[in-house]
C-alpha cells in the first residue's frame, strides 16, 4: 500500500459519498437517493497543520459483481497484477464503466473502506462484492452504515463480513460526531499497522484543530456578546414627531442591530465548521431560529427568578419585575432622551415609566439637538439569552454531519427544554455576570482577565457536552 489512501467502496446507494463527506467535512459532495449518483473516482484530501495528507477516495458502486467475481476467480496469474488485468480486460465494455472506476485506487494499493447499509437484508450481490474485495487482498474495513433504525439484519451481515474483512465497525455517516470520526481513525490504525504512526499524527492534529476551532468559536461568541452589551442606538430627537413613536423606532433599530450581530456570528461559526450552506435561521418557531425578542424565547431561555437571585444580580423585588418583563418582550436598556432616564425598559432600572420624565418640550430650541437613546443594556437576562442561543446554535453545528442534506431540519429539532445556561453550575453563571459587569464599565482593569477566564471556562464546558444530545 502506498501513501495514506483509503478508497470507499460498496454497492450503489449505500452511503459511500456520505461517509466521504462526513469524514472530510465536505458538505458539497453529491449525495442522492438515486443509485448511481457517483460515476467517477473522486479524491478528497484531509490536510493537517504540518502538511501531512490523507486521501479519501469516493467511488461509484459495483455494477456487475457476479461477472466481476467470476473473472477474479478464474484469474491464474500473479495476485499483484490481477486488478490491472481486470481493467484491461474490460476497458472497452461501457457496462463495466463503474466497476473499472472503482478499481482505480486499488491499483495504487489504497486501503478499503467497504460501506454497507446493514439496516436491510443481505443479498447475493453483497456476498459477491465482499468476495471480490477479499480476493484483491488489500487491508479492508467494513463500515456498517445504518440508513434506517433497524438492527434485525445485523447478525447476518456480521457473519458474512467477519470471514472476509479485517475489521468491522459501525459508522453512521449522517450522525457521526467528531469523536466517532476519531474512533474510525483508531480503527484505521489497526487496519494498516505499518502506517499507524502517520495516521496517528494526522489524528492528533485533527484533534488539536478541533480544540482550536472550539476556542475560536468561543472568541467569536464573546466578541458578539461584547458588541451587544455595549451597543447603543442614538436617534436625533425630531420635534415634529411624537416622542413615543421615536422611542419605538429607536427600540426597533436596537433590536434589529442585535439580531444582525447574532446573524453575523452564526455565519462565522458556520464557516469555522465548514458548514457554509446551513441556514442561520429558518423562520420557524424554535429557540434558536425564533427571533431574539420573541416572547417564547424569553420564557424558555430566560433564567428563573431564583437563578437570577443566586447570581446576586437582582434583589427579590427586582427579580419579580424581571420575571414579568421576561415574558413581556422588550425589557432591556436604559432609555433616555436629553440625557435623562425616560423609562426603565428593564428589570435593571425598574418598572417602565416611559415618557413621564423630562420629555423635551416641543418648540424649545434648547432641546432641539437632543437624542433618543437605547442601550447599552443593563439587563443580564438579555445577555444570558444571547449566550444561550449562541451555544445552542454552536453545538448543533459542531455535531451536524456534513453528509446531511436535510438542512430545513437543522434548527427545528431543538427541544423546548433546551436552555443550556439554565443548567450551568452557578459558578459559571456568576462568572458571566462578572464578565458583564466588568465590560459594562469602560477601562475596567478586570475586563481582560475576566474575558480570558470566561473563554477558558466556556471552552472547557463545551468540551464536556455530550455530543449526542445535540445532533
Ligand X SMILES: Nc1nc2c(ncn2[C@@H]2O[C@H](COP(=O)(O)OP(=O)(O)OP(=O)(O)O)[C@@H](O)[C@H]2O)c(=O)[nH]1
How many Å apart are CA 202 and CA 198, to the nearest integer?
Answer: 6
Minimum distance from residue 37 beta carbon to ligand X (Å): 4
Nearer to ligand X, 144 or 450 (CB): 144
The span from the first CA to the last CA of the chain, in angstroms, equals 36
How many other C-beta atoms lie within 10 A of the C-beta of residue 145?
25
Cell reading at 466: 455530550
Check binding of 101 to ligand X (CB under 6 A). no
Q: Tell me which of Mg ion, ligand X, none is bound by residue 193, counting a contact when its beta carbon lies within the kind-specific cut-off of 5 to 8 angstroms.
A: none
**Contact between 354 and 344 (Cβ < 8 Å):** no
* Closest to 145 measured CA to CA, from 301, 297, 18: 18
Minimum distance from residue 263 beta carbon to Mg ion (Å): 33
Q: Tell me which of ligand X, Mg ion, none is bound by residue 173, counting a contact when its beta carbon lies within the kind-specific cut-off of 5 to 8 angstroms.
A: ligand X
* Closest to 146 measured CA to CA, from 168, 172, 169: 172
How many Å apart are CA 372 and CA 243, to the nearest integer?
Answer: 9
Contacts of residue 156, defined as CB under 8 A and 6 or more positions apart, other chains included, come to 121, 122
Ranges within 149-168 binding ligand X (CB under 6 A):
none
Nearer to ligand X, 15 or 302 (CB): 15
Site string for Mg ion, 2-21 (x = CB under 5 A): --------------xx----
Nearer to ligand X, 277 or 444 (CB): 277
Q: Tell me which of ligand X, Mg ion, none is bound by residue 14, counting a contact when its beta carbon lies within the kind-specific cut-off of 5 to 8 angstroms.
A: ligand X
Check binding of 14 to ligand X (CB under 6 A). yes
Minimum distance from residue 145 beta carbon to ligand X (Å): 5
- Total site size for ligand X, rule CB under 6 A: 22
Check binding of 61 to ligand X (CB under 6 A). yes
Ranges within 31-70 binding Mg ion (CB under 5 A):
37-38
Minimum distance from residue 274 beta carbon to ligand X (Å): 17
Site string for ligand X, 129-148 (x = CB under 6 A): ----------------x-x-
Q: Tell me which of Mg ion, ligand X, none is bound by residue 145, counting a contact when its beta carbon lies within the kind-specific cut-off of 5 to 8 angstroms.
A: ligand X
Q: The dihedral of CA 36, 38, 41, 46: what is its sign?
A: negative
Nearer to Mg ion, 2 or 34 (CB): 34
Torsion, CA 170, CA 176, CA 181, CA 182, rounded to 10: -90
Q: Which helix (H) or strand (E) holds 113?
A: strand 111-116
Only one residue has cell 419585575, namely 321
Nearer to ligand X, 181 or 266 (CB): 181
Check binding of 24 to Mg ion (CB under 5 A). no
- The separation between CA 418 and the C-alpha centre of its own chain, rounded to angstroms, equals 16
Contacts of residue 310, defined as CB under 8 A and 6 or more positions apart, other chains included, come to 426, 429, 430
Q: Rg (Cα) of the chain, in Å, rounded?
A: 29
Check binding of 173 to ligand X (CB under 6 A). yes
Nearer to Mg ion, 37 or 170 (CB): 37
Check binding of 35 to ligand X (CB under 6 A). yes
Question: Angle, nearest 10°, between helix axes 426-440 and 196-230?
Answer: 50
Positions touching ligand X (CB under 6 A) are 10, 12-18, 31-33, 35-38, 60-61, 145, 147, 172-174
Positions touching Mg ion (CB under 5 A) are 16-17, 37-38
Amino acid at each position: 500500500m502506498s501513501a495514506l489512501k483509503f478508497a470507499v467502496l460498496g454497492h450503489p446507494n449505500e452511503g459511500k459519498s456520505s461517509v466521504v463527506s462526513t469524514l472530510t467535512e465536505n458538505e458539497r459532495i453529491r449525495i442522492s437517493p438515486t443509485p448511481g449518483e457517483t460515476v467517477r473516482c473522486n479524491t478528497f484530501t484531509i490536510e493537517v497543520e504540518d502538511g501531512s495528507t490523507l486521501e479519501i477516495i469516493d467511488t461509484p458502486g459495483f455494477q456487475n459483481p457476479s461477472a466481476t467475481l467470476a473473472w477474479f476467480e478464474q484469474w491464474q496469474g500473479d495476485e499483484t497484477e490481477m486488478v490491472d488485468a481486470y481493467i484491461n480486460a474490460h476497458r472497452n465494455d461501457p457496462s463495466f464503466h463503474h466497476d473499472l472506476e472503482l478499481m482505480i485506487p486499488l491499483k495504487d494499493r489504497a486501503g478499503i473502506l467497504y460501506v454497507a447499509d446493514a439496516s436491510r437484508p443481505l443479498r447475493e450481490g453483497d456476498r459477491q462484492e465482499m468476495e471480490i474485495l477479499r480476493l484483491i487482498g488489500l487491508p479492508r474495513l467494513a463500515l456498517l452504515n445504518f440508513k434506517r433504525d433497524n438492527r434485525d439484519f445485523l447478525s447476518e451481515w456480521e457473519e458474512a463480513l467477519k470471514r472476509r474483512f479485517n475489521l468491522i465497525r459501525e459508522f453512521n455517516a449522517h450522525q457521526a460526531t467528531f469523536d466517532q470520526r476519531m474512533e474510525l481513525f483508531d480503527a484505521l490504525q489497526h487496519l494498516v499497522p505499518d502506517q499507524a504512526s502517520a495516521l496517528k499524527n494526522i489524528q492528533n492534529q485533527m484533534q488539536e484543530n478541533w480544540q482550536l476551532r472550539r476556542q475560536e468559536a468561543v472568541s467569536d461568541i464573546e466578541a458578539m456578546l461584547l458588541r451587544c452589551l455595549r451597543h447603543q442606538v442614538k436617534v436625533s430627537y425630531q420635534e415634529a414627531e411624537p416622542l413615543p413613536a421615536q422611542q419605538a423606532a429607536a427600540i426597533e433599530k436596537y433590536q434589529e442591530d442585535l439580531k444582525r450581530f447574532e446573524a453575523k456570528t452564526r455565519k462565522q461559526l458556520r464557516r469555522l465548521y465548514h458548514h457554509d450552506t446551513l441556514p442561520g435561521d429558518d423562520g420557524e418557531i424554535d429557540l434558536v431560529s425564533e427571533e431574539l425578542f420573541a416572547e417564547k424565547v424569553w420564557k424558555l431561555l430566560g433564567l428563573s427568578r431564583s437563578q437570577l437571585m443566586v447570581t446576586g444580580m437582582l434583589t427579590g423585588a427586582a427579580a419579580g419585575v424581571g420575571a414579568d418583563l421576561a415574558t413581556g418582550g422588550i425589557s432591556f436598556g436604559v432609555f433616555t432622551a436629553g440625557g435623562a432616564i425616560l423609562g426603565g425598559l428593564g428589570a435593571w432600572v425598574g418598572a417602565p415609566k416611559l415618557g413621564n420624565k423630562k420629555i423635551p418640550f416641543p418648540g424649545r430650541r434648547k432641546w432641539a439637538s437632543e437624542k433618543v437613546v437605547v442601550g447599552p443594556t443593563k439587563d443580564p437576562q438579555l445577555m444570558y439569552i444571547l449566550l444561550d442561543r449562541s451555544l445552542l446554535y454552536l453545538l448543533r453545528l459542531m455535531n451536524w454531519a456534513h453528509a446531511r442534506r436535510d438542512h430545513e431540519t437543522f434548527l427545528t429539532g431543538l427541544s423546548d427544554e433546551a436552555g443550556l445556561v439554565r443548567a450551568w453550575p452557578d459558578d459559571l453563571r456568576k462568572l458571566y455576570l462578572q464578565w458583564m459587569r466588568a465590560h459594562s464599565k469602560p477601562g475596567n482593569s478586570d475586563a481582560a482577565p475576566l474575558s480570558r477566564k470566561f473563554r477558558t471556562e466556556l471552552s472547557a464546558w463545551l468540551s464536556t457536552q455530550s455530543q449526542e444530545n445535540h445532533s
